[in-house]
Amino acid sequence: MSSFEPDPTLIARCRKGDTASWSQLVDRYRRLVWSVIVKHHMRSEDAEDVFQHVFATLVSNIDEINDENALASWLVTTTKRRCWRVTGQSRKSAERARSFESDSERSLDPVDTRDDPVESRAQLEKQLVREGLERLGGKCKDLLEALFGAGSEPNYTLIAEKLGIRIGSIGPTRARCLEKLSAILGRLGFSDTASASITPAASEDEE
């Protein structure tokens, strides 16, 4: 297992001016923020501006975070609001943005459920798995990311070369790593949100 620093620890260090902790925080949440932005189909330059804005808002308001454990939810909400504001093209988006105007953009409330709660939950679940992988660390993290991160059919030969393992050991290692990850996710509460249905992986590939 890797030495995983929980959010409250990183936030506390950021407040003291620790730039390394800030980098960790950006690395931890960069994909979450970007995944929200991607769903808004923005121009690339707008997307990058939103990305900067969200983290700029975070660094500006890090002293005011009351619930350090709700950072992921806050980032999702802040990113969505910013996306709606920048795009502002569809009437629906504009109405949503206006409905949020009364709230401070810097509000550090937990996730706002007035938008699509299923989508928000899916994004937070993905973040939970990212956190699980970060906690897992080591070769297990590398293997699982190599196998599933790209989304395409994994190239076992390349993965074996990259990770310095035999092709034949990928299957057993994958099982052990999934088992460890599953245990971590259970502790993080992931199983509480996951569906209880039993379906093959292939049917759940699509978001």
Partner 1 sequence: MTHTPHNPDHGPGSKVTIEQIAAVASGAAGSDLAQAVIAAAARDPHVGKVLTSFTHAVAAMRGDAAFEPPVDAVQRAKQLGARLAPRRAAQRHPLAVLGEAFDRAGAVVLEWINPDNGLALAGVRDDRGADLFEAVVASAQITIRAERTTSQNGIVRLVGEITRDDDMPIKAVLAVLDCSGIVLSTDSTDSLSMFAIALPRDSFEVVVSASAPDGTVHPTIVLPLGPDSPMNTRRGGSSE
DSSP designation for 103: S
Rounded CA gap, 158 and 29, in Å?
Answer: 28
| Among residues 112, 130, 135, 159, the one that binds partner 1 under rule CB under 8 A | 130
Residue window 49-88: x/- pattern of binding to partner 1, with contact defined by CB under 8 A:
x-xxx-xxx-xx-xx----------------------x--
Rounded CA gap, 189 and 127, in Å?
Answer: 12
144 lies in the site for partner 1, by CB under 8 A? yes
CB of 154 to partner 1, least distance (A): 8
DSSP designation for 176: H
Which residue number, 10 or 111, has a Cβ lying nearer to partner 1? 10
Segment interacting with partner 1, rule: CB under 8 A, options 40-48, 90-98, 108-116, 158-166 = 40-48
Residues 83-122 that bind partner 1 (CB under 8 A): 86, 104-106
Write out the DSSP string of 131-176.
Answer: HHHHHH-HHHHHHHIIIIIT-S---HHHHHHHHT--GGGHHHHHHH
